[in-house]
A and B are shown apart, each in its own frame.
Chain A
C-alpha cells in the first residue's frame, strides 16, 4: 500500500528533524528516579509496568500486523469459519489475570510503606493558598510563605515581551524555599485555606491534595543534598500554574542554623511592628507585599480584571473607608478568591500594603496606616 509507505517515510523524516534540531539532553522522556528510597521503588515499578505493557503490545500488535499482511482478500485467501474457542478464551482471561497479580502485590507493598507516616523526625505543616504555599515547622514554630519569584512573575505576565528562557528556573523558583534536612524522616501535614491544592515534588514521588478544613499527611526522607522543584498539581484558579514548590535539602547542621536565623528575624520583625513607620518606608515595603500577594488578581496597575477581579483605583473602599479596606485584607471576602490575610501577613505587611494601595496609581489619598493600627484591629 503506497500510503503506508509514504507514512513511514514521513515519520522517519519527522524523527530525523527532531533529532537534528535539538540536543537529546533537553528531551526529558521519563519519570525521575528521585532521591528517596520510595521514589526509586516507584521508578522501578513504573519501568516494570511499562515493560510489561511494551511486551504485551509487541505480542498483540505483532499478531494484528501479521494478520493484516497475511489474511487479506487481495492475497486470495478464503475466510476461515471458526467463531469461538473456549480454550483460547480461558487462556487469555487467566494469563492477564496472572500478570495483574504479579503487578498488584509489589504495588500494595510499596503503598503500605508510603502511607506509614509514623516515627517522623521533623513535621512541616503545608497550607495551600491561592496562589502560594505556607510552611510551618511545627517543632520550632518557624513559619514562611513561599511564592513565585518576581523574575518569573514579570516574565509570565500576558505579552510581557520577556523571553522565559532568559529567566533562571522560569516558573520553578520561589522567594522563600522550604529548607529540609537530609536523612531525616519528614512528615508533612497538609491543608488549605481556600480551594483545593496539591503538593508535589517529583524527586520525592509524593503528591497529596491540600483540602480546606481537612488534614492530610505524607512523608519523605531525602538522601541527597540539593534543590528539588515541583508545582501545585490540583487546579486552584487563575494562577494554578504559578505556585511552584522549591525544596532546599541541606545537612542537619545547616538546617539548624537556618531555623535559628528564621527565629531571630521573626523576633526582629515582631518588634518593628510597635514603632512608628515613615510613609516612604511603608510604601517601599507595601510595593513588595503587593507584588507578591496582590498582583496576580489586582494587576500591576491596580486595575484588576473587569468582571473577574475588582480594580483598586479610585474605588470608595480604597479612597475613603480605611477600616473597611483593612478589614477586607484581614478577613477576605467570602465566596471569592479574596482570601483572609490575617494569618499570612504580619501587621507591618498589612499596614504597608494598605498604605501602598491608598497612595499608588494616582490614588494619592496621603493616608498613612501604622502597624499598630492593624494590631488594634486584630484584637477587635
Chain B
C-alpha cells in the first residue's frame, strides 16, 4: 500500500513536549499518554489477577483443603475473572486503540480528548473500590463473575460496592467506545475511506458499537440486583413474582457480545501483524470486514447457549444451538484468510509474528471446544465443568492476551523509538506457549472426566491433571515477568528503530518518526 503520502514539513510547528511531572499524567488529554496509562494499568491488573489465579491453582494442587477456606476460594475465582475481563483485557484494548487509532486513520488525536482523560481516570477508582471489598465484613463477592441471584444476594457488605464499581467500569467503557466511534467517523484523513481502514480500526469500530449496546444492559441488570437487595423489589425473587432466570437472560445478553468485545480487537491486531511479517497483503480484506460484522451481529442472538441447563423450551434450545453453530462460519473464514495471507508469503518470525501465529493456532483450539459446547445435547455433559474452563481460557489467554502481547511487541518500537530485546521476546513467547498449554490443556481431560468448575476441592481421581495444570500456571505466571523486563528495557534504550520498523509494514503509523512525536498528523495527511 504505497498510496499514502504524508507531508512532514509542518510537523515541527506543533512538536512541543508534554508538561513535566505527575500532572502530565493526571491532566493529559493526549491520546498517546492516555494509551500509555491504560496499558500500564492493564499490566498491573494482569499481575494482580494472575496472583489470584495462582492462589486458586495452589489450592487445587492436591485434594483436600490446604491453604484457603472455600468461601475465600470463591472470592478468588470471582475477583480473578472480574479483574482479568474488566481490568486487563478491556483496558489493554482501549489503550491500544488510544495509541494506534488516531495514528492509523491519520488523525491528530482522539475526537473527545477531555472525555478520554476521564474515561481512564475513573478506572483506578472503580477497581480500588472493587478490590477493597476483599477486606470488608463478609469478604468480597463470592458468587462467580456472573453474579447470579439468589446467591449474589447473600454477599455481605461488598454487594453495593461491587455494583457501584461495575457501574463505574461500564461508564468508562461506554465513554471510551463513544470516543472511538467519534474518532473513526469524523477524524479520518482525507482519502481514508471506510474500506481503506486498517483491520484493527475496523474491528475496534464494530467492538465500540457492541460496547455501547451492551454495557447499559449490564448496568441495568446489576441495578435490579441492588433494588432487590435494598429496596424491596422482586425482579429476581420468585417469592415476589420475579424470576431468577431472567437475570441470566439479561446478563448473557450483555455477556455474549462482551465475549466478542474481548476478541474482535484481537482479530484486528492479528490481521495487522500477519501481513507485515508475511510481506504480503491481507488476504480477503473485504470478507474479513464482513465476517467481523457477521460475528458481531450473531453475538446478539446466541446468548442463551450459556444457560442450556436452566430448562428452556425445546424450540429455544434448538434456536440457540443453531445460531451458535453458525458463528463457526465467519470465524472459520477469518482463520482461513489468515492462513491464506501466510501462504506463499516470505515470512520471518519476530516475536509479534510468533505471538500472532500462536494466537491463530490456540484460538482455533478454543474454537473447536466452542463448537462442541454449542451442541446442546452434549453441552449438558460439558456445562459447568472444567471443559468449559479450558475452552474460555484457550480463547482468552492464548487468544486475547497473546494478541495484546503481540500488539505490544509490534508497536513498542514505534512508541519508544527503540527495538525491544528480540532474544528475551522470543524466550517470553516460547515459555508462555509451553506453559499455557501445560496449564489449560489438561483441564479438557478433567472436565470430560467429570470435574465441576468453581470447586475448591475435588475427588482424588482428578489429582494428576490438576497438579500438571498448577505447574503450568506457575510457569506461565512467572514467564510474564519477562514481558515486564522487555518493556522496561525497551523504554530505557536499545537499538534505534527506523520509521518503518518492520520491513513489511504498511500503513500511516509507520510513516511517522519513531518514537512517534507527541503530536502527530496535524495537519492531516492525504491518503490517495
Contact = CB atoms under 8 A, between A and B. Distances in A.
Interface string B139-153: 100111000101101
Contact of A195 (B69, B151, B426): B151
Given A96-B329, A107-B377, A164 B63 contact: yes
A68 B274 CA distance: 12
A106 to B, nearest CB: 9
Nearest to B70: A238
A92 B309 contact: no
B245 A214 contact: yes
B468 interface: yes
B283 A207 contact: no
B250 to A, nearest CB: 15
B345 interface: yes
A288 B188 CA distance: 74
A238 B74 contact: yes
Contacts of A72: 346-349
B445 A28 contact: yes
Contact of A45 (B150, B361, B377, B461): B377
Contacts of A108: 318, 321
A154 to B, nearest CB: 11
Given A111-B318, A207-B309, A93 B378 contact: no
Interface in B44-72: 62-66, 68-71
A282 to B, nearest CB: 30
Interface stretch (A169-177, A323-331, A343-351, A355-363): A169-177
Contact of B452 (A92, A231, A308): A231
Contact of B244 (A81, A104, A196): A196
A67 B71 CA distance: 50
B239 A213 contact: yes
A240 interface: yes
Most chain A beta-carbon contacts within 10 A, residue among B64, B346, B456:
B64
A294 interface: no
Interface of B is mostly: helix
B66 A159 contact: yes
A83 B465 CA distance: 44
Nearest to A6: B430
Interface string A260-291: 00000000000000000000000000000000
B253 to A, nearest CB: 18
Interface string A310-325: 0000000000000000
B460 A165 contact: yes
B357 A45 contact: no
Interface string B190-209: 00000000000000000000
A100 B372 contact: no
Contact of B280 (A80, A89, A170): A80
A150 interface: no
B125 interface: no
B282 A83 contact: yes
Measured as residues with beta carbon below 8 angstroms from the partner, the interface class of chain B is 35 or more
A42 interface: yes
Interface in B156-208: 156
Given A79-B346, A164-B64, A213-B238, A308 B156 contact: yes
A335 B154 contact: yes
A231 B368 CA distance: 26
A337 B278 CA distance: 58
A12 interface: no
A22 B380 contact: no
Given A112-B314, A156-B65, A198-B309, A242 B457 contact: yes
Interface string A110-146: 1110110000000000000000000000000000000
A46 B376 CA distance: 11
Contacts of A42: 377-378, 380-381
A206 B245 contact: no
B65 A158 contact: yes
Given A93-B333, A211-B245, A237-B151, A63 B343 contact: yes
A255 B311 CA distance: 29
Nearest to A3: B430
B289 to A, nearest CB: 12
B360 interface: yes
Given A28-B461, A239-B70, A84 B310 contact: no
Interface residues of A, number: 109
Contacts of B62: 164
B243 interface: yes
A1 to B, nearest CB: 8
Nearest to B151: A195
Contacts of B342: 64, 67-68, 71
A50 B387 CA distance: 13
B286 A336 contact: no
B486 to A, nearest CB: 16
B137 A79 contact: no
B454 interface: yes
A217 B326 CA distance: 29
Interface in B340-385: 340, 342-349, 357, 360-361, 364-365, 368-369, 371-372, 375-378, 380-381, 383-385
Interface in A1-53: 1, 3, 7, 10-11, 14, 18, 22, 26-32, 41-42, 45-46, 49-50, 53
A305 interface: yes
Contact of A88 (B244, B340, B449): B340
B450 A202 contact: yes
Given A112-B314, A241-B70, A205 B380 contact: yes
A233 interface: yes
B372 A46 contact: yes
A216 interface: yes
A3 to B, nearest CB: 5
B485 interface: no
A259 interface: no
A214 B151 contact: no
B286 to A, nearest CB: 7
Interface stretch (A54-62, A246-254, A365-373): A54-62
Contacts of A155: 64
A209 B143 CA distance: 16
B121 interface: no
Contact of A93 (B74, B322, B329, B335): B329
B305 interface: no
A376 interface: no
Given A49-B371, A92-B336, A211 B357 contact: no
A158 B68 CA distance: 7
B384 A213 contact: no
Nearest to B468: A18
Given A28-B461, A31-B448, A164-B62, 13 more contacts: A29-B445, A31-B449, A68-B357, A79-B344, A110-B377, A115-B317, A155-B64, A158-B68, A170-B459, A216-B310, A235-B454, A238-B70, A335-B153
Enumerate the 4 nearest inter-chain pairs by beta-carbon distance, A residue then B residue, closest first. Answer: A213-B238, A241-B455, A216-B311, A28-B449
Interface of A: 1, 3, 7, 10-11, 14, 18, 22, 26-32, 41-42, 45-46, 49-50, 53, 56-57, 60-61, 63-64, 67-68, 71-74, 77-85, 88-89, 92-93, 96-97, 100, 103-104, 107-108, 110-112, 114-115, 155-160, 162-165, 169-172, 194-196, 198, 200, 202, 205-209, 211-214, 216-217, 230-242, 305, 307-308, 335-337
7 contacts: A89-B336, A114-B377, A214-B245, A216-B310, A216-B311, A231-B450, A307-B139
